[in-house]
Copies of this chain bind each other. A is one copy, B any other.
Amino acid sequence: MRPRAASLACIRADVAHVHPADIGMRDHAPMEDSSDDDLVDTVTVHLREHDLAQVRAVMARHDASDLVRLLEREDGRDRAVMYRLLERQKALEVFELLDAGMRAELLQGLRTEDVARFFEEIDPDDRAQLVDELPAGVAQKLMRGLSPRERELTAPMLGYPKGSVGRHMSTEYVRLMPHLTTGDALSHVRHRGGDAETVYMLPVTDRERHVLGVVGLRQLVLGRPDSEIGAAMVEPRVVAATDDAETAARDVVEAGLLAVPVADGEGRLVGVFTVDDATRILEDAEDRTAARQGAAEPLGRPYLTTSVFGIVRARVVWLLVLAVSALLTVQVLGFFEGTLEEVTTLALFIPLLTGTAGNAGSQAATTVTRALALGEVTKRDWLVVMWREVRVGSILGGLLGLLGFAVGGLVFGWALGGVIGITLIAICTIAAVVGGAMPMLARAVGADPAVFSTPFIATFCDATSLIIYFVVATWILQL
């Protein structure tokens, strides 16, 4: 790896100082008439001052040919950074004006690890405003021949947010035109398919790369050689490069597709997203959900090859958080200590009641979390979910309450039986509602529904059920 250029190092050191409010705020004099040297100086100064918004604003006021001359004077890394700060349309025009050698050098610069890291370290909100999606054609050239790991490193460059389809797509595909015959298309695949990630799903586009349809290799092989691709292609299920990768992955798998075309904001083909990437993404998501449901972070590697310390680290934070939350139960019981001293028998039922509340709550939470993950329920359904859980919880509470009344009444007398029965009805209902509400709430605020894990809900239900228990007891036993 070559040593890092000084100017880039100095930008990186303080990149967090860029604020969205900076963008286009300071009004410099128009620069259209100034010489190329002036442009170079101005941009270089802004770059050294880490004022990316100004770099972008200044460049926006120049036409493509000026910008080409600017880029030709810079070294590889500064060139790459400046180029990525261009608006999309400008970036496309500039790329088309560059000669072959300069194009190769620019792409080389864009692939450099510290340029990628530089953009990764910009605050995501700033980045969204500073860095447009790369023009589809440039993106493809940039990604061509990169290994999956290199692609992942380069991803921040492309302007696709973390966890988006753009970070997981492949840019090695074979694209067809609608006017081709099936026979010609097959020869095209034969010549171009060598490096493609898949040739089983072939996107059909116009000259500007707008996705028109898809055709399967099966259709090319089985179809009549003189039929036109435009007639054979089917309506594509296109995903946007900025779409959430997990949602897109679930769609691909549910629809039983081998691959889908990925388009940029203007509907132009930038890549393909294949079923094996989709299943890998879903697998990772399941790992995360499974771990979080059990109040731990995913290990990220096989259990037996994770160090004991690594396992401790995945569990310790949640365990501490939950233990500290459980101090609430100590306070609640402290408040009712007098009642407990009077009727010690009440203490006997504490684990039974808190446990049942926890179970009822986690049943509801698990169901709703899963339904959210599968897209069966969306955050707008919260009222329906609540109402269902009220009914389910009260029916379950009614059944358990009857049992609690009978058993408790027979062994400890009917007054205590009544306390237990009524408490069970109330806590089952509340636990089911809370258990159903928590994942909905998490989703509504943009968090992972699985963070409101079974243990988290159990802890929350513990405190609630203790309060209900002692209020009911005080009332029925007239303490």
Q: Which A residues lie at the B interface, using CB under 8 A?
A: 186, 189-190, 193-194, 199-200, 217-218, 221-222, 253, 256, 258, 275-276, 279, 283, 286-287, 289-291, 293-296, 299, 302-304, 308-309, 311-312, 314-316, 318-320, 322-323, 326-327, 329-330, 333-334, 337, 340-341, 344-345, 347-352, 354-356, 358-360, 362-363, 365-371, 374, 376-377, 381, 384-385, 388, 391-392, 395-396, 399-400, 403-404, 407, 428, 454-455, 458-459, 462-463, 466
Chain B contacts of A311 at CB under 8 A? Answer: 367, 388, 392
Q: Assuming the A-B contacts A348-B334, A351-B329, are A296 and B454 also in contact, with contact meaning beta carbons closer than 8 angstroms in the complex?
A: no
Chain B contacts of A363 at CB under 8 A? Answer: 294-296, 315, 318-319, 455
CB atoms of A359 and B400 under 8 A apart: no
Count copies of this chain in the complex. 2
Give the distance in Å from the alpha carbon of A352 to the alpha carbon of B333 in the complex: 11
Q: Assuming the A-B contacts A222-B193, A304-B371, A396-B315, are A329 and B355 also in contact, with contact meaning beta carbons closer than 8 angstroms in the complex?
A: yes
CB atoms of A396 and B362 under 8 A apart: no
CB atoms of A327 and B352 under 8 A apart: yes
CB atoms of A384 and B304 under 8 A apart: yes
Chain B residue, CB-CB nearest to A257: B276
Chain B contacts of A296 at CB under 8 A? Answer: 363, 366-367
The 8 closest A-B pairs by CB, nearest first: A294-B366, A256-B276, A329-B351, A303-B371, A302-B376, A347-B347, A359-B455, A326-B352
Chain B contacts of A407 at CB under 8 A? Answer: 327
CB atoms of A403 and B323 under 8 A apart: yes
CB atoms of A359 and B318 under 8 A apart: yes
Chain B contacts of A399 at CB under 8 A? Answer: 316, 320
Q: Assuming the A-B contacts A315-B392, A367-B291, are A347 and B340 also in contact, with contact meaning beta carbons closer than 8 angstroms in the complex?
A: yes
CB atoms of B454 and A370 under 8 A apart: no
Q: Which listed residue (B286, B291, B344, B369) contacts A341, Cβ 8 A? A: B344
CB atoms of A355 and B462 under 8 A apart: yes
Give the distance in Å from the alpha carbon of A350 to the alpha carbon of B319 in the complex: 17
A387 to chain B, nearest CB (A): 9
Chain B contacts of A458 at CB under 8 A? Answer: 355, 358-359, 458
Chain B residue, CB-CB nearest to A275: B275
Chain B residue, CB-CB nearest to A279: B253
Give the distance in Å from the alpha carbon of A293 to the alpha carbon of B337 in the complex: 35
Chain B contacts of A329 at CB under 8 A? Answer: 351-352, 355
Give the distance in Å from the alpha carbon of A358 to the alpha carbon of B319 in the complex: 10
A64 to chain B, nearest CB (A): 39
9 A-B pairs whose Cβ atoms sit less than 8 Å apart in the complex: A199-B222, A258-B258, A304-B384, A304-B388, A311-B367, A319-B396, A327-B407, A340-B347, A362-B455
Chain B contacts of A320 at CB under 8 A? Answer: 399-400, 403
CB atoms of B199 and A322 under 8 A apart: no
Q: Assuming the A-B contacts A218-B193, A376-B303, A377-B303, are A350 and B352 also in contact, with contact meaning beta carbons closer than 8 angstroms in the complex?
A: no
CB atoms of B350 and A347 under 8 A apart: yes
A429 to chain B, nearest CB (A): 12
Give the distance in Å from the alpha carbon of A186 to the alpha carbon of B293 in the complex: 50
Q: Which listed residue (B287, B347, B400) contacts A333, Cβ 8 A? A: B347
CB atoms of B365 and A294 under 8 A apart: yes
